[in-house]
Amino acid sequence: MKKTLSILLTVIMLLSCVSYTVTAANTSDDITTTSLTADDTISQLTLFGYQFNDDGFAYQQRENGTIEIGGYIGTEENLVFPDTINDIPVTMVRLMYSSDELKSRVKAITIPESVTNMEFLNTYKFDNLETVYFNAINCYETAVNCSKAFANHPKIDTIYIGDKVEIIPQGLCQETCITHIELPDSLREIKPNAFMHCNYLEQIVIPDHVTVLGEKAFYGCDRLKNAVIGDGVTDIGLKTFYYSNQLESVSFGAGVENIGESAFELCSVLKMIDTKNIKTIGQYAFKKCSALEHAELREGLTEIGESAFVDCTEMTEATLPDTLTDLGSYAFLNCYKLTSVVIPDGVTTVPSMCFAYCKSAAEVIVPETVSYIGKWAFLDTAWYNTQPDGEIYINDILYTYKGEMPESYVCEVKKGTESISPSAFESQSNLVGVSIPEGVQSVGQFAFVYCPELRSVSLPSSLFKIGIGAFGYVANPKNPSKYVKVDGFTVYGYIDSGAQKYAESGKFAFVPISETGDPLCLGDVDEDGDTSIVDATWIQRANVQMQIPIAEIVMLTCGDVDGDGEATVIDATLVQRYDSYLATPYPIGKPLT
């Protein structure tokens, strides 16, 4: 007690000519600010329910039974907060009742294991604080408790993490001058944003026992040069090292399986990566890693996401492993120095612009397992630029048309072709016709868009997949970036086929064709190109529900001569009259429109 009174008298003498700001507090979380002079300091502290221990800490018991420290009146430069006062754990530190002199004096602080709320670090500024001994085991429950814990203290250089700490809280080192932090073996989890904008941190070694590495954990650490990720981490999440633009090297532990979206985006001096046991690389994972020269993509990798390596302009080599099955759009776009593209057998789709503008890629090898090649997948590669003008085929895929098309050009798609790529003939103003043979199964979206002279198409029965805008659309005169339907565009195709569905969805004119490839005629139910007594017989047999080898849809389309919705004996009679050269009021024998 004598020691406490002595400290109090000393403080009163020191502050006899000093006025400073304190913040009233009670056991609630409400805070109000009051200006106190030295003469009423003790009475105000007493008024707000604080007591003083022998070490000069003002404290009170909270509603939950734990201790809150609200001020300090000692003279230590190394401020060590106690775990307990009166054998009761200290869980909150506020420092609402401490002088400006304390702010400038303290150079080191020690946070005990018991603290769960470091509110004082958010509201109080230590001007010369250099070192922190952080032992708080559970200071991670909410962002307000620990977020940006050390951001207000401009001279912090080093944080020592206690060997019992298992979780690094959110925002622990955000916006600080910390250059060094050593993580203990006890660590299990690094919360999201834990080291975000830790702008002076130069290296980090994540221990093997860490299993959770939170999103944006090292986001914007713009002096971080080296990162070692321990074996316990399995996922590197969203923007974990985003814009760490001095990161020169990263070592992935044996347990890392997934690299998340934008994890290393804009790491502009990173030169080499070795994926070791990684299975998936997310979208934008290494986007704009402009110094990345070599990506060692090892066996076990199955997926490379959209734009994963876009704008890696120095990359010369990226060997795709045999285990790869999924490639994302734009995955290697603008990798100018990539010298070759060898697609492994497990890949079935090469998506849009996947290797576009890989200007040095003279070799492109696509296996027969690939059934789809997206829009401009190999545009402006060295391989593409050496291809002769005209249709370019890759295996059984009509990939694109290169060069200037002759006037009034009719494209004869070669037999054996199975698909036509998206945008393959986009903006070909001289194209007037296209002949698509049986066997073609799909036509990609916008394959023949902006072809104003193409007024009709005849589509085979094998064609079941037609992409949006594939045929019949041109630029909108009022807004060239948009498209409108071609007036009078006609789709010839088989009944109940992909052609009919495409025509109906786009509200284009649809003309059915027979098995011979000619348009279906009214009355010609057997599709032999001639309306005869045979057709009348089939209509009669259908009318009495006798089994016939005529498709029901064809019977209704061609056999309903009078247009009443049924193929009846009346329609059979009309066909007989037509076959006997007797006049009828219907266009029997004429193509359906």
**Three-state SS annotation for 67-88:** EEEEEECCCCCEEECCCEECCE
Indicate the DSSP class of residue 387. S
Q: Quick one: angle between helices 569-579 and 533-543, nearest 10?
A: 170
Distance CA 86, CA 94 (A): 19
Residue 371 burial (CB count, 10 A): 15
Residue with tokens 């093997």: 208
- Domains by residue range for the chain, with CATH: 1-106 (no CATH), 271-386 (3.80.10.10), 398-512 (3.80.10), 519-593 (1.10.1330.10)
Residue with tokens 């004996």: 569
- How far apart are the C-alpha atoms of 55 and 87, rounded to whole Å? 15
pTM for the full model?
Answer: 0.80
**Is the model's pLDDT at 167 over the cut of 60?**
yes
pLDDT digits (tens, 9 = 90+) for 59-69: 999 999 999 99
Mean pLDDT of 352-361: 98
Give the other-Cβ count within 10 Å of 164's Cβ: 12
Average the pLDDT over each of 21-30, 333-342, 578-587 and give the range with the smallest value. Answer: 21-30
What rounded mean pLDDT belongs to the chain? 87
The answer, yes or no, to whether residue 90 has pLDDT greater than 80, is yes
- Burial code (b: 16+ CB inside 10 Å, e: under 16) for 5-37 equals eebbeebeeebeeeebebbbbbeeeeeeeeebe
Centroid of chain to Cα 380: 26
Res 10: pLDDT: 38
429-442 average pLDDT score: 96
pLDDT of 245-268, one tens digit each?
A: 999 999 999 999 999 999 999 999
- Specify which residues 35 forms β-bridges with: 21
Task: Yes or no: say if 223 and 245 are a contact pair by the CB < 8 Å rule.
Answer: no
Give the C-alpha separation, 207 to 210, whole Å.
6
* pLDDT classification of 145: cutoffs 50, 70, 90: low
pLDDT in the model for residue 554: 79
**Tokens describing residue 246:** 């001095």
pLDDT above 70 coverage of the chain, percent: 89
Distance of CA 291 to the CA centre of its chain: 22
Cβ-based burial of 406 (10 A; exposed 0-12, middle 13-18, buried ≥19): exposed
> CB under 8 Å, gap of 24 or more: what pairs does 369-374 form?
369/345, 370/343, 370/394, 370/395, 370/397, 371/397, 371/418, 371/419, 372/348, 372/397, 372/419, 372/421, 372/442, 372/444, 373/349, 373/397, 373/399, 373/421, 374/329, 374/349, 374/350, 374/421, 374/422, 374/444
